[in-house]
Amino acid sequence: MQRLSGKMAFITGGGTGIGRACALLFAREGAKVVVAARRRKKLDAVAQEIIAEGHNALAVECDVTRKASVEAAIRAAEERFGGLNVIVNNAGALHVGTAEETSEEDWNRVIAANLTGTFLVSRAGVAALRRASGGAIVNIGSYLGLVGIKQRAAYCASKGGVTLLTKAMALDHAAEKIRVNCICPALVETEMALGAMQRMPDPAAYRKLRESQIPMGRAGTPEDVAQLAVFLASDESAWMTGNAIAIDGGTTAG
């Protein structure tokens, strides 16, 4: 039995990294999948990959920082598949720097993508989940929404907001059978993370340093995160809501 059989899922940031891994695995577990992001070419490639495997998928352009774009994308998802059961908020942005080193432009960009985007998609999606008699919102946060590190002021602030938005919405909508949980990964091999490493003076040395800080000795993969997302989207986690779950190779255990 496929774990997401009969469910319809809307996944932001679905063209690359964790979003792509979630889209592929959700489809393989029986879900009809809508992949949403700003870059149409990458979205179309993911949707075609899913369709080629014999599953159902739709690519929808969506800027999660814009209310009208979000609402149109949610509407398109419902119209195509007749409802919505799962939302995965994965779209995001990164900035490396202390508060002093962070411009207002970079601050606003990171907060808009990571926190405001999660808010706008979740707010628009709640009504759709309610029409489906309940469902699940899975926010892709970060272990930096649980603890801080140097040089990540804006990112930590945005992901800390996602953690507590998750908990607040979980309480607000628990009686409606709408569950809200947050996945908090450490370093994962995504386009965004690898790109940030490449901008360091010595990328190989920096990666080695970052992986040495992970007790299990390796970065996570998008598939590691997708497996947890499937669990939180499925009925296997039916009594779980309001959780911020670290998936970090032991990074936050100490």
Question: Active-site residue numbers?
Answer: 155
One-letter amino acid identity for 245?
I
> What phi and psi values does residue 157 have, to the nearest 5 degrees?
-60, -45
Rounded Cα gap, residues 56 and 214, in angstroms? 37
First-to-final CA distance of the chain: 38
C-beta neighbour count of 26 within 10 angstroms: 31
Whose tokens are 């100490």? That residue is 254
What is each CA distance from 27 to 8, 31, 44, 89, in whole angstroms?
9, 5, 15, 17
Rounded Cα gap, residues 77 and 95, in angstroms? 31
